[in-house]
Chain A
Amino acid sequence: MVSWLESYLYNGFLPVKISSWGILLLLTFSALLFLRIFISRVSKAREYQLQTKYSKIFEDQLTEFIFDEERYAEGSPDHLELIKSLRRQIKVKLRRRVFGKAILLFHRDFKGIPEQRLEKLYRDIGMSKYAIGDLREGSWYEKAFIFTELGQMNIAEALPIVLKYTNHYNSVLREEAQFAAVRMGGAVNISFMADLELPVSGWQQTRIMQELDRVDLAQIPPFFYLLDAKNASVVAFGLKLLAKYRQVDDPEKIMAKIHDEQEEVRLAALFCIRETEMYSAANRLIERYPKETPEVQQEILNTLGFIGDEEVIQFLEDFLYEDTYNIAYPATRSLVRLGFKLSPDSGIPSFNKELYKHTRYELFPG
């Protein structure tokens, strides 16, 4: 090594030694990272090229398969040839990934018979076997993608494996497994949710709800069993589902939830009562009101506006003298919603009179 460089790198004075090695390492890494930027560009461009090439091939094949039903009828020479060709292609991992993406896109855009034909093709060429096999190895995001694929292609035989991951500590893996399970089993198989240990996020609830929208209404089962779950987020989700599908066969079970320990559940119960217009709950809510937190109190006042009667109006009228905005506002709004009319010579404070005008305009702007 050049003697001057040596004198720096192996200097007896520690700061000089650290600085010299630091400079050497930092500059070397900088050069390597810079090189990596361009390698990344080249490899990305190459991968993109290959993906585009195979996407085009697979999309053409799938388009023909979908639109030329006669030519690709089950067992026809062209159908057998297509299966053979695809089986050969998907042996290579990159092509398998590209084909997986292509068939998922097609599957998303079609309903009914084409959808079923695509699912069958997926099985016939052995994609499902590859996918299940790939679940044993690979990183969490690769597994999560396989769940998406298996779920969308409705590979029911993978359900036992998928269910194993519904309580996984990795949130993405867990959520994709839950989503796949709903897809594979439809609304009937949502029962696994009752055993979930970790909280179900609002995002996941939204996704599952949207997935259930695909299910025929006649096939939607009662969701009351979700209210027995130990997981508060599952109970809250169950209440939202009951509200969405207007399931009111067991009103007592819903009303019991206004006494739940978790505020999240109590709020969801109020939402359910409001959406299903459960008039019988009004008196129970009035009784519950004094024991509640401010947030739930506001929601009770708001809910009463949807399910109230004369008795409720009497209860709400007391709030016309309330000077706390967050209480007076929902109470006045509910009164207006229930058709209450304030007489011009009423002796209530001017703040509440103004609030009455405010809520009246909000609900009946005309």
Chain B
Amino acid sequence: MNSFLDNSIVHYMLTFYELAVFYFAVVVMSAYILLAIISLIAVRKYVHKNTFTNYESLLTSTITPSVSILAPAYNEAVTIVENIRSLLSIHYPNMEVIVINDGSKDNTMPVLISAFNLVKIPFVVNYEIETKEVLGVYKSTNKAFDNLVVVNKINGGKADALNVGLNISTKPYVTSIDADCILEQDALLKLMKPFEDQTNKRVIATGGVVRIINSCKIESGKLVAVRAPRNWVARFQALEYIRAFLLGRMAWSSLDGLLIISGAIGIFDRKITIAAGGYNHKTVGEDMELVVRMRRYMHHNKLPYKVAFVPDPLCWTEVPESWKVLQKQRNRWTRGTIETLRMHRSVFLNPSYGKIGLLSYPFWLFFEWLAPIVEFVGIIYTIILISFGLINWPFFLLMVTLVYSFAIFFSVFALLLEEITYHAYHRKRDILALFFVALIEPFCFHPFVIYSAIRGNIDYLRGKTSWDKFERKGFSGKDRKKMVESRVNYA
């Protein structure tokens, strides 16, 4: 053992490893600090700019652009009527709701026909994107539901259903809002604003901030008070979402390098979405993949464009409250990231793609996909060193403290940004709870995220492609729970 320790090659290898880990950590931390500063400037500018915006103008204008809301449904007979009514009541003047029944095995279609007095209409589908066959298009005989279109099709998965919605829609913009989210009343108006602001660059998509609704106070389907989640798993995610949306995505949007728009809330330019090929059913991360493909399409055709991001909290969603379900969700996110990065690997460090080739893609590759792997390898390596008595304890502890300090700093920065801009958490105890989460998260939650990412990598290598949509507790009782159970594995 002593001879092994004395071996100068081993000594050099250890030193090299320590330095490599150190410099990787410094680069990662510097990148995140830079993003945080960019985000701070961008959010403050947005908030100032927004004080001059009267969204009522869009509501009453005759030239407001029209939007189609796409709502894929699979075995949702129990809650479909309630969900559609909720979508129809969204605050927007010029919209249609397209419900796509994706070959449900339950009685979703008969329930819809009876609830909305639907009749089959003569309709020729423009198959601009190849999809499974459409069996029929239905409209209501009741004038009150004039802006409702129901499509019955052969089962093909969520992406296929969304593509049918794209084919059927006649509006210039489309959005697919998750039926189990609660939207702010003016969410669509705010998301449409960047499209209306466009001048020299075509806005091809806008995304909004998703926040966590667990433990919040909801009355009649509306959010009335924001609370920090009581459940710890959800509470960790509450802080994580603030960091990701307010710091990460806002900064990337400001740098014009945003690669992802959350599937829960986003509006897309229909023509460009179709021209780029629509939703891809070969990936579990179709939201990110679509944005990357649309960007590539614009680059190939040398069309000036922009992907916009609205930092207002627009959409409130329920997150998993159990480690098991969270693991499945994160596993899927990792697989989605790998699939997208692999499908678009030609973008990597390709100067013809500008910022996405030189900045966004490498960032996702190194910091979103590879960082958990590097961390995992680091942990294993450290355990080996400890077991062989080779660890440089002072340096190791210094590194751990550095990373921990950075994690706290980054979380507190995100909390401050939330505080000076949207101030969603009014109660002092909620902010204190989130601060406490910032202190313990690096030891409790972060290792779990790493573990889930590793599992995602392994499952990707094994060729796993299922969706494993998580089971939500629901906002309004047992019915929604039944619906969510039935939607598990719908992809």
Give B36-76 as 1s and 0s: 1 = Cβ < 8 Å from A's Cβ atoms.
Answer: 00000000000011011010011011111100000000000
Residues of B with C-beta under 8 A to A325: 124, 126, 128
Say whether B405 contacts A33, CB under 8 Å. no
Bound-state Cα–Cα, A240 to B63, Å: 9
Residues of A with C-beta under 8 A to B22: 15, 18-19
Chain B nearest CB, measured from A328 CB (Å) = 9
Chain B nearest CB, measured from A189 CB (Å) = 20
Is A321 engaged at the interface, CB distance under 8 Å to the other chain?
A: no
Within 8 A of B (CB), among A176-210: 176, 198-203, 205-207, 209-210
Give the contact-size bracket for chain B.
35 or more
Within 8 A of A (CB), among B342-387: none
Pick from B6-14, B287-295, B395-403, B442-450 the stretch touching chain A.
B395-403
Given contacts A15-B22, A209-B61, contact A22 B49 (CB under 8 A): no
Bound-state Cα–Cα, A26 to B61, Å: 49
Is B435 engaged at the interface, CB distance under 8 Å to the other chain?
A: yes
Is B464 engaged at the interface, CB distance under 8 Å to the other chain?
A: no
Say whether A326 contacts B419, CB under 8 Å. no
Cβ-neighbour of B409 out of A26, A44, A172 (below 8 A): A26
Chain B nearest CB, measured from A18 CB (Å) = 7
Residues of A with C-beta under 8 A to B63: 202, 205-206, 209, 240
Given contacts A145-B51, A203-B197, A210-B57, contact A355 B124 (CB under 8 A): yes
Pick from B106-114, B230-238, B410-418 the stretch touching chain A.
B410-418
Chain B nearest CB, measured from A231 CB (Å) = 10
Is B4 engaged at the interface, CB distance under 8 Å to the other chain?
A: no
Is B333 engaged at the interface, CB distance under 8 Å to the other chain?
A: no
Is A233 engaged at the interface, CB distance under 8 Å to the other chain?
A: yes
Say whether B409 contacts A30, CB under 8 Å. yes
Is B123 engaged at the interface, CB distance under 8 Å to the other chain?
A: yes
Cβ-neighbour of B413 out of A8, A15, A33 (below 8 A): A33
Residues of B with C-beta under 8 A to A201: 196-199
- In the complex, residue of chain B having the shortest beta-carbon distance to the beta carbon of A295: B271
Residues of B with C-beta under 8 A to A141: 48-49, 51-52
Bound-state Cα–Cα, A354 to B406, Å: 64
Residues of A with C-beta under 8 A to B139: 365
Bound-state Cα–Cα, A326 to B401, Å: 62
Give B180-202 as 1s and 0s: 1 = Cβ < 8 Å from A's Cβ atoms.
Answer: 00000000000001011111100
Pick from A35-43, A53-61, A125-133 the stretch touching chain B.
A35-43
Residues of A with C-beta under 8 A to B398: 8, 16, 19-20, 23
Given contacts A33-B412, A201-B197, contact A354 B402 (CB under 8 A): no
Interface-centre pick from A37, A354, A365 (highest chain B CB count, 10 A): A37
Which residues of A are at the interface with B, using a C-beta cutoff of 8 A? 8, 15-16, 18-20, 22-23, 26-27, 29-30, 33-34, 36-37, 40-41, 44, 140-141, 144-145, 148, 171-172, 175-176, 198-203, 205-207, 209-210, 233, 240, 244, 325-326, 329, 351, 354-355, 357-358, 360-361, 365
Q: 24 interchain pairs (CB within 8 A)? A: A15-B18, A15-B22, A22-B26, A22-B405, A26-B408, A30-B408, A33-B409, A34-B412, A36-B416, A37-B431, A40-B416, A141-B48, A144-B52, A148-B52, A175-B52, A176-B52, A200-B199, A202-B63, A206-B61, A209-B63, A210-B61, A326-B126, A358-B122, A365-B121
Which residues of B are at the interface with A, using a C-beta cutoff of 8 A? 18-19, 22-23, 26, 29, 48-49, 51-52, 54, 57-58, 60-65, 121-124, 126, 128, 139, 193, 195-200, 395, 398-399, 401-402, 405-406, 408-409, 412-413, 415-416, 419-420, 423, 428, 431, 435
- List 7 additional contacts besides A16-B398, A27-B405; criterion CB under 8 Å: A34-B416, A145-B52, A172-B48, A198-B199, A202-B63, A203-B197, A358-B121
